[in-house]
């Protein structure tokens, strides 16, 4: 886990037994697996074809979708490692977002001030992945509380 919150453990035998019964649990896990495969494939394409700035915005948005607020506790070094770029490059990209007023940051802490600015700068990969999560796992209809329904779906599945 990258952020504070709750984590749950489930015995694998219980998971397998429930899955083998078919029904809604199996259906939901299979749909989540399909959405996750889309995310992994799209991320691979993104890593190959899109700039650091676009990837950083996509990553920040996807991370925000799984958090209860606009605070991300992470270092630029860890972001660089996860995105496969040098920390210095991430520092420059973060500086651009700060200058533009999209975020503020201190060591180990990023606050998103203007989500629409991030969405505008992110590549289409963010939207592609969100639409697939929404299509496959849309539990509550359209976006809930201004957040994407993929956040609700992922949170619900793992809660």
96-138 pLDDT, tens digit per residue, is 999 999 999 999 999 999 999 999 999 999 999 999 999 999 8
Q: Tell me: pLDDT of 74 over 90.
A: yes
Q: How far apart are CA 67 and CA 155, in angstroms?
A: 9
Q: Tell me: pLDDT of 150 over 90.
A: no
In a domain, 46, yes or no: yes
Structure token digits, residue 136 = 């496959």
Q: Find the radius of gyration of the CA atoms of the chain.
A: 17
Q: How far apart are CA 31 and CA 41, in angstroms?
A: 15
In a domain, 143, yes or no: yes
Give 84's DSSP letter: T
The CATH number given to whatever domain includes residue 108 is 1.10.10.10
In a shared domain, residues 117 and 58:
yes
Residue span of the structural domain in which 79 resides: 51-121
In a domain, 16, yes or no: no
pTM of the model: 0.81
% the chain with pLDDT above 70: 85
Number of domains in the chain: 2
Categorize the per-residue pLDDT at 85 as very low, low, confident or very high, splitting at 50, 70 and 90. Answer: very high
């Amino acid at each position: 886990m990258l952020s504070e919150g709750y984590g749950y453990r489930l015995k694998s035998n219980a998971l397998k037994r429930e899955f083998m019964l078919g029904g809604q649990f199996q259906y939901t896990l299979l749909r989540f697996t399909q959405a996750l495969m889309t995310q992994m494939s799209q991320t691979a394409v993104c890593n190959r074809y899109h700039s650091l700035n676009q990837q950083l915005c996509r990553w920040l948005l996807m991370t925000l979708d799984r958090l209860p607020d606009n605070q991300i506790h992470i270092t630029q070094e860890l972001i660089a490692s996860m995105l496969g770029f040098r920390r210095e490059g991430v520092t420059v990209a973060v500086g651009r977002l700060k200058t533009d007023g999209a975020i503020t940051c201190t060591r180990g802490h990023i606050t998103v001030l203007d989500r629409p600015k991030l969405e505008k700068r992110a590549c289409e990969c963010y939207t592609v992945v969100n639409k697939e999560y929404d299509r496959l796992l849309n539990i509550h209809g359209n976006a809930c509380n201004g957040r994407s329904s993929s956040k609700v779906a992922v949170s619900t599945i793992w809660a």
